[in-house]
Structure 1
Amino acid sequence: MSNAQFETYGPSPSPYPPGYGGFDPYTAPTVAYGTPAAFESYTERHESGYGGPEAYADTYRPAYEVAEGAYAPGADHRTGRRAAHRRRGRTVERVEGPMRRLVPQALVVAFLAGGTSAFVANDKAVELTVDGAPRTLHTFADDVGDLLADQGVEVGAHDVVDPPAGSALESGDEVVVRHGRPLRLTLDGRPREVWTTAHTVEAALRKLGVRTEGAYVSVPRSKRIGREGLTLDVRTERAVTVLADGRARTIRTNAATVAEVVEQAGITLRGDDTTSARAEDFPRDGQAVTVLRITGGREIRDEVIPFDVRRVEDPTVFRGTEVVERPGRPGLRRITYTTRTVNGVRQKPRRTGTEMIRRPETQIVKVGTKPLPVSTDSTGRLNWEGLAACESGGRPDAVDSSGTYGGLYQFDTETWQRLGGRGRPQDAPPAEQTMRAKKLYVRQGTSPWPHCGQRLHG
């Protein structure tokens, strides 16, 4: 409905007869968005029963009324005609036509005026900054959360909203949103994932409290961090001491390995030289690394392998007598050792190889099981000359180099006297020496002569 309907530009011809004393809506003065001044007096006369001529028929018809003779679905068209006749028979209703046009117009204007005031009251001018990009906008949102939803700004667990999403929103407020970004950070050799709202690498490291002075950073510090995040390697500056050749060198470094630290200290590793820490290890602040100067060599040693002794019982040999049937032979193996000297100190050799040169041969010994003779008469058939030749070279006065054993059969003085001899055995006649040797054989067999006793049976 246009406001022009409430504006009067000049007198209009009136359809009422001359001298009409009632309210003339065509000539009455009007006020924009208001009500005709004569409306009140006209209403009083109308309500007192005044009726105008038939020429003042009502030309206003609300949209919900069915025109005369028109067909309305679901209604009796005859009922519509009767209602029309009743309306024509009522003069008061026809006179109300112009007033019924003005009243709805006034109500609409009043509604629009009140709605405009409410509209202006709820509108808020705020500034929204998302990741550093500000913009000023108007909104009807009641709180920060509604504003972000209206603007399509999604907020996650790692994002920061200032003021918080539940805060009430007033005109002139400023809302800041900083989205979180994943940072896959390896700091001094230790990997981890952190979230940051900083936009650049330098700002992120500053927020994380990482000391960047003298540090190695794998990307430019001014590089921007996108929403997808960034992979970053940072090595801070550390103090490491290198001990080499009797000197200590302390350097400040951001090296990634011990090998790099040694190289930066101006030390060259040669041959088998190594370090106390593994070359690929990450050097820690305050760590001391020792350079080990190593010289190495090889040694070969021959080692004797003792032979085994196998004893076999023999019933043809007197009990207590052992006869070596096959002498044993020791074996020989060759062992290779690696030697090394660390910083001038020789280390324990380390065996690195073994080679068999000769295998040992087992010695076979016959052990007598034949009963010993009960008297020396039965020992006459034994080879006593052979035993004496083996023990003393057949000399009755022979004495060993230690002076302990003497005579043909190399008696010691204690055994000689226990057998009934006097003085020293080497001083006795040969016959006595042989007689006492036979007595000893009867008691112990050939065991008193472990090396030469087998000659008795030879």
Structure 2
Amino acid sequence: MPFPLASAVRRSSRTVRIAAGGTCLAAVVGGTVAFTAFDKDVVIDADGQRTQASAFGGTVADVLEKQGITVGEHDLVAPAATTDVSDGQTIVVRYGRQLTLTVDGQTKTYWTTAQTVDAALSDLDVRADGAKLSASRSEPLGRAGLALDVTTPKAVTVLADGQTKNLTSTAADVNGLLAEAGVTMRPGDEMSNAGADALSAGMVVTVVRVDRSASTETVAIAHGSRTENTDTLFTGEKKVVTPGVDGSKTVSYADVFRDGVRSQHDVIGEVVDAAPVEEVVQVGTKAKPKPVPVAAPAAAPSSSGGGGGGSVGGSADGLNWGALARCESGGNPSIVSSNGKYHGLYQFSVSTWKAVGGSGLPSQASAGEQTYRAKLLYQRAGAGQWPVCGKNL
């Protein structure tokens, strides 16, 4: 009997073990099914680098975090970070790059997810056709970003050396434009703009050639004049005792020519070659002699054209003064000889005229006065005072 009991016990134990084993297997199989249901395969595309990853539920943000991918405010994630992950999904990450863009001297900073210079310009709608870039269009934009200079073509004009050059230039500044135009600035030349000025559309750049040289000129030095009082001359009389002579000097100049036209002529020195001689004029201070008191002038001969005169007395009144006047002066009381020495009807010299009491010039006196003085002279010296015409008296 003990044997069957023992057998029954063994069968019972085996059954229990089988049952227990079946329960464990069911649990394992059930867990595997649940695990498989939560596991999802996804692809992460980060700037073109594709990575296979498994996700156990959650959102896009959860997947990226588990993969150690950190995104910032300038990065692009698609689908959105809060989106639940689905099996076979591709998560796209595009990192933002900072682009410092200087267009014709104007600088702005942008964020872009473009990965090349050309793509960034297109994304930012920057018109750069024909422009000059500081980097190749195909150059990659790294995560650190890039500083890019863009110079757009501009229509400008260069005026230099008598020529007008109309150009379309991508030069960054005026210096670059002149190099393109083949214009070389010399020391001292002038330009309408600073070399570092940025180009602008329609700009006109003018170059002025400046040349410097020295020159000399001979210049006259005007002579001065002074007067001296003298008692050897009567009041009202003047006499030049030292004629004035202009001097001369050589003047040196610093000349500046702009495009061939002299614009400056500055004195830098002078040398006197001949000193001027000052004119000295004597002015008479001697009182004029008072006229000799005589009778009123006799009437002048009618042939002389003179006025009234007076009698001198003696034989002088009975002489033919008209004939003498016609011989000496043609009867003209205001005539003056060609050499300027003899005056009037009877061709008095000034000194003789004054010796007989006349004043001023004989040719300025009346005919009667001249006849009166001629009679006085005759009484003193006779007809010899008129060596040629005296015989007509």
TM-score, normalization: structure 2?
0.51
- Displacement of 1:145: 0.6
- Displacement of 1:213: 2.9
| 2:285 aligned residue | 394
| 1:289 aligned residue | 205
Moved more, 141-150 or 211-220: 211-220
- Displacement of 1:205: 2.8
3-state SS of paired residue (1:394)? strand
Match of 2:144 among 200, 222, 228: 228
How many percent identity over aligned positions?
A: 38
| 2:80 aligned residue | 164
CA distance in 2, matches of 1:119, 1:292: 87
- Displacement of 1:147: 1.0
| 2:339 aligned residue | none
- Displacement of 1:149: 0.9
Match of 1:256 among 146, 165, 172: 172
Structure 2: runs of 5 or more not aligned: 218-250, 270-280, 289-359, 361-393
| 2:61 aligned residue | 145
Can you list the C-alpha shifts for 1:244-287, whole angstroms capped at 9, x where unaligned? 35554221122122122123224344453232111122222332
Structure 1 letter corresponding to 2:30: G
Contact kept, 8 Å, 2:257 with 2:264, in 1: the verdict is no
- Displacement of 1:175: 1.2
| 1:265 aligned residue | 181
Match of 2:46 among 120, 127, 130: 130
CA distance in 2, matches of 1:96, 1:55: 8
CA distance in 1, matches of 2:80, 2:254: 73
CA distance in 2, matches of 1:192, 1:338: 51
3-state SS of paired residue (2:141)? coil
Task: Report the RMSD for the aligned CA atoms in angstroms.
Answer: 4.1
| 1:242 aligned residue | 158
| 1:180 aligned residue | 96
- Displacement of 1:336: 10
3-state SS of paired residue (1:134)? strand
3-state SS of paired residue (1:125)? strand
- Displacement of 1:392: 5.4
- Displacement of 1:129: 0.6
Contact kept, 8 Å, 2:254 with 2:264, in 1: the verdict is no
CA distance in 1, matches of 2:214, 2:122: 57
Moved more, 213-222 or 164-173: 213-222
CA distance in 1, matches of 2:266, 2:80: 71
CA distance in 2, matches of 1:251, 1:276: 17
Structure 1 letter corresponding to 2:285: G
- Displacement of 1:136: 3.5
More strand by share: 2
Structure 2 letter corresponding to 1:257: D
CA distance in 2, matches of 1:99, 1:197: 68
Structure 1: runs of 5 or more not aligned: 1-14, 18-52, 60-94, 302-334, 355-389, 398-426, 428-458
Residue 171 to residue 336, structure 1, CA distance change in 2 (3 Å): farther
| 2:300 aligned residue | none
Residue 295 to residue 166, structure 1, CA distance change in 2 (3 Å): same
TM-score, normalization: structure 1?
0.45
- Displacement of 1:346: 5.9
Residue 171 to residue 285, structure 1, CA distance change in 2 (3 Å): farther
Q: Does 1:108 align with 2:24?
A: yes
Structure 2 letter corresponding to 1:394: T
CA distance in 1, matches of 2:50, 2:266: 74
CA distance in 2, matches of 1:131, 1:203: 14
Residue 392 to residue 209, structure 1, CA distance change in 2 (3 Å): same
Residue 246 to residue 111, structure 1, CA distance change in 2 (3 Å): same
